[in-house]
Structure 1
């Protein structure tokens, strides 16, 4: 993989987050990693690294810049914009700055994720967590596993000939440490101390362990466990402590890279929803073509910080479920609504085209997407203790149709309630169409003109119910008996009202076009529907 350059780094994180103050050797300078300055330790031997000036005021960072140049570092990152630009230029060291209010560990995560996909500096012999596990196993003499805080096994050693026990075999098979009260107590002991600890065997089929927590900046990132058959190296504890330090770097970089990818995908999805993203670039990055927009929202009307936190938790639930189903996925929270793209490769999009030559299978796609949405609504409702509603827009043939599918989902959300917490746009198509017509007619004054206003004015002036009678008649398919049933009156009463309407308001109910326009205006602009209780 090509080395990251200063220019590559700024392409990813430059702007409001990281500013370049000077680059005397140009933007093509290789950048290998980001390291934190420790005033109590000598500068690291890490040629090409960026040094984060922790604990050093920007204006007083001149000596640190000179020392960085002598150590072969690529640059120095200071807080604030008043760094020693002259010193940096004189010694050929790039100088970058970050805002005063950004925590250094956040800066480190941001830079580490963008600098290099390689987890550790070249030449260390530890290419990834599996290589690290092998290195620890070889140095300590015991089979090794690296775990996350939830006791999931992230990597394990494969050094031949080392003793293993039943817990290790079961853990590797399921990539999850077998759960038990005794196991939980051992994890409590490990996470309660800052150094490696020796733990007794859990049962006759198992061996003791040497274990240590993996931490960075006070945060627990996981743990490293070594099987102890009684023949571990004399310096095993020291080796394990050093290995945990390297594991922290690997885990931080892996997490930072994942978070950066999520952030980039979320930003891309936001622009797709707005219709401002380049479709071909988005399709290449997300690996999607035919999709449907799913929208999730909290049913509670609560507002304020609690509502915002709950919405973020809803985002986590949606992202987790989508990633479990589809792998890497794009989800984003916009104005309280969580949006996700559900892949529908080969499905027909707007206009009925079949995508990618695959057969049309709306039933299969709807079933799959609906099941996922139901799972999310159920899980999120239980976890958040707040009802959640979900809307599925139309399947579109490519990412260019995402704004339209999002508009569908937004309209469906407005129609959901306690009795209907989830629906697809196709299930509510007539109501969605009427709602769209309502919005269009409300925005266009010329579409609001017509006889419907005269009907309402007559009702207001004479105490009649002619408008509701008309809507009931239209809703009943122009059937007099059906309209009378909706109005709870005799058919003759309904017939009389319609005759009076034509006489006093001047409406031609024999004209199908006039009937259609009048019905649409009364339904959409006046918001009337056929119902019982009208009076003459």
Structure 2
């Protein structure tokens, strides 16, 4: 039997937090139950009760009811759980994020309980056994699909008639596209039970099909080839198979959500440098070079619900990365979505940049918000993920509307100057110098010596080039620089003095030739 400690080993972290465990972590955990205010609590030793519909601060009475029902603990939404009452009654108290969806929390906990003891074949693998069972009972080759017409499983019973559509579907793991196919799916998903569908063309065979549903959600469909010799009770068999398929698909989804949660938590620890790299590489299936990609909503855009939009951005990033790389880790940390990308042969970053641009475009369309993306440096293995993440964070800080996506090597000068400015600003002896006197003189006398200097530096100390940037005559620029040296005492013939003055004006004062 699982214990509370076992459960927290699987899902414990930022999204599921333990507030108190007065009876210790060795107490049993048997199931996760949803609270129903309209029904009394039955005795359920070892259960965790999810406080659906009850604000965390108002769950004190539920703590007493949980204790009376012999349950192990209570799960509240938000940080304000009744810790004192939980400790008084010996009930474990767990908290999830205030914006977490209860059905997702229930799915996560339910899948985690017993996850260590799950038998082989737990998940989509059982759908193949179901397809074989339906094919044997009905007498027709059977396939199970998801709502996007992707093939999840198919029967392998020998001797059953098949047609070209089935062969192509198995080869490509997807139903061949076509107008007629689309119409049959419309009919199928509108029906409440099994439907018989005609052949789509010459050489094709009819189908008996049924939608797979759980509640009001369509999870997929089951299709059986009908050559005219199906068993008399084939429709009943297919309907029963749909019920079983719904359970298997829900269980597979739960396992997938659990794996995503575990991968996200592991990535979070990799990014902050607290995870064991060798264990992380094995669990994430990432051997060899990797790179961190960071995505963030444009802070200049006014969003009504930035937190929810950031979660939707996480979904977009995760979906696109999984479509290209399969099993993938992505996590939302402090408003930034991070993805860890495999990078064999990616020193130039062309594929990763194309992926980032695609995600930014898709996210902009679906979220109606501007998104920016930064790619860190490629590192030899996951042990360097924290360094690649630091690079990606710096890239995000130098992006703008004209450059929404970039890899660190593309903006190396920008990020280097950014970091230099931070280092210079933190140290008194590095931030002192003539640049302050130049700015003070401009402020007091209404001169424009600081910008004249920066334009001259940016023009490679060419007077004509500086004058063009300033939109003045070269003699005007020359006169300003002479007056600057006379009034402030700057030696512009000294290359070290010029270098330091440019660096401080550029990084600490934030001036450039484009500054107005």
Larger radius of gyration: 1
The question of 1:96 aligning with 2:94 is answered no
**Do the aligned partners of residues 100 and 228 (structure 1) sit closer, same or farther apart at CA in structure 2, a change above 3 Å counting?**
farther
| Alpha-carbon separation, structure 1, partners of 2:471 and 2:5 | 76
| Alpha-carbon separation, structure 2, partners of 1:121 and 1:164 | 30
SS at match of 1:404: helix
Shift of 1:51: 8.0
| Alpha-carbon separation, structure 2, partners of 1:315 and 1:306 | 14
| Alpha-carbon separation, structure 2, partners of 1:372 and 1:529 | 32
**Do the aligned partners of residues 106 and 402 (structure 1) sit closer, same or farther apart at CA in structure 2, a change above 3 Å counting?**
closer
SS at match of 2:209: strand
Aligned equivalent of 1:242? 240
**Do the aligned partners of residues 178 and 300 (structure 1) sit closer, same or farther apart at CA in structure 2, a change above 3 Å counting?**
farther
Shift of 1:457: 1.9
1:163 and 1:227 in contact (8 A); partners too? yes
| Alpha-carbon separation, structure 1, partners of 2:483 and 2:417 | 28
2:11 and 2:261 in contact (8 A); partners too? no
1:105 and 1:217 in contact (8 A); partners too? no
Aligned equivalent of 1:442? 425
| Alpha-carbon separation, structure 1, partners of 2:515 and 2:336 | 37
| Farther-moved stretch of structure 1 (303-312 vs 401-410) | 303-312
Shift of 1:147: 0.8
| Alpha-carbon separation, structure 2, partners of 1:524 and 1:23 | 54
Shift of 1:243: 1.8
**Paired residues for 1:351-430 under 5 Å:** 362-363=347-348, 366-384=349-367, 386-430=369-413
Shift of 1:327: 1.8
**Do the aligned partners of residues 303 and 334 (structure 1) sit closer, same or farther apart at CA in structure 2, a change above 3 Å counting?**
farther
1:119 and 1:254 in contact (8 A); partners too? no
SS at match of 2:511: coil
Shift of 1:522: 1.4
Shift of 1:320: 2.3
**Do the aligned partners of residues 335 and 109 (structure 1) sit closer, same or farther apart at CA in structure 2, a change above 3 Å counting?**
closer
1:318-367, CA deviations, whole angstroms, 9 ceiling, x for partnerless residues?
Answer: 2222222222111223344332222224x7xxxxxxxxxxxxx733xx22
1:21 and 1:85 in contact (8 A); partners too? no
**Do the aligned partners of residues 105 and 116 (structure 1) sit closer, same or farther apart at CA in structure 2, a change above 3 Å counting?**
same
The question of 1:465 aligning with 2:448 is answered yes
The question of 1:487 aligning with 2:470 is answered yes
**Do the aligned partners of residues 330 and 172 (structure 1) sit closer, same or farther apart at CA in structure 2, a change above 3 Å counting?**
same
Aligned equivalent of 1:350? none
| Alpha-carbon separation, structure 1, partners of 2:103 and 2:402 | 49
1:286-305, CA deviations, whole angstroms, 9 ceiling, x for partnerless residues?
Answer: 23353222223344843344
| Alpha-carbon separation, structure 2, partners of 1:415 and 1:52 | 48
2:11 and 2:112 in contact (8 A); partners too? no
2:455 and 2:512 in contact (8 A); partners too? yes
| Alpha-carbon separation, structure 2, partners of 1:133 and 1:482 | 76
| Alpha-carbon separation, structure 1, partners of 2:436 and 2:156 | 81
Aligned equivalent of 1:176? 174
TM-score (norm 1): 0.76
Aligned equivalent of 2:58? none
Shift of 1:134: 0.4
The question of 1:61 aligning with 2:42 is answered yes
Aligned equivalent of 1:330? 329
| Alpha-carbon separation, structure 1, partners of 2:234 and 2:153 | 19
- Unaligned segments of structure 1, at least 5 residues: 32-48, 66-74, 89-94, 348-360
Shift of 1:308: 4.5
Aligned equivalent of 1:37? none
Shift of 1:504: 1.9
| Farther-moved stretch of structure 1 (445-454 vs 248-257) | 445-454
Aligned equivalent of 1:161? 159
| Alpha-carbon separation, structure 2, partners of 1:105 and 1:442 | 46
Aligned equivalent of 1:151? 149
1:476 and 1:483 in contact (8 A); partners too? yes
The question of 1:265 aligning with 2:263 is answered yes
1:144 and 1:227 in contact (8 A); partners too? yes
| Alpha-carbon separation, structure 2, partners of 1:19 and 1:194 | 47
1:153-188, CA deviations, whole angstroms, 9 ceiling, x for partnerless residues?
Answer: 100000011122333223222222233444333333
Shift of 1:145: 0.9
| Farther-moved stretch of structure 1 (97-106 vs 401-410) | 97-106
- Unaligned segments of structure 2, at least 5 residues: 51-61, 78-100
Shift of 1:85: 5.7
| Alpha-carbon separation, structure 2, partners of 1:296 and 1:507 | 44
Shift of 1:146: 0.7
TM-score (norm 2): 0.79
